[in-house]
Amino acid sequence: MVQQNDTHSKVVGYILWIFGFLGAHRFYYGKPVTGTIWFFTLGLLGIGWLIDLFLIPSMDRQADLRFHPGPINYTVAWVLLTFLGFFGVHRMYMGKWLTGILYLLTVGLFGIGYLYDYWTLNDQISIRHATRP
pLDDT digits (tens, 9 = 90+) for 36-90: 999 899 889 989 999 999 999 999 999 999 998 999 999 999 999 988 999 999 9
The structural domain count of the chain equals 2
Q: Give the residue-averaged pLDDT of 93-109.
A: 95
Same-domain check for residues 19 and 61: yes
Alpha carbon distance 129, 110 (integer Å) = 28
State residue 132's pLDDT score.
Answer: 73
State residue 1's pLDDT score.
Answer: 47
Same-domain check for residues 56 and 90: no
- Full domain range(s) for residue 91: 74-130
Q: Residue 4: which pLDDT band, with cuts at 50, 70 and 90? A: low
Same-domain check for residues 118 and 84: yes
Same-domain check for residues 31 and 61: yes
Same-domain check for residues 52 and 83: no
Alpha carbon distance 31, 108 (integer Å) = 21
Same-domain check for residues 81 and 120: yes
Q: Residue 111 pLDDT more than 60?
A: yes
Does some domain include residue 113? yes
Alpha carbon distance 133, 56 (integer Å) = 33
**Which pTM was predicted?**
0.88
Question: Is 18 exposed, middle or buried (CB count within 10 Å of its CB: 0-12, 13-18, 19+)?
Answer: exposed
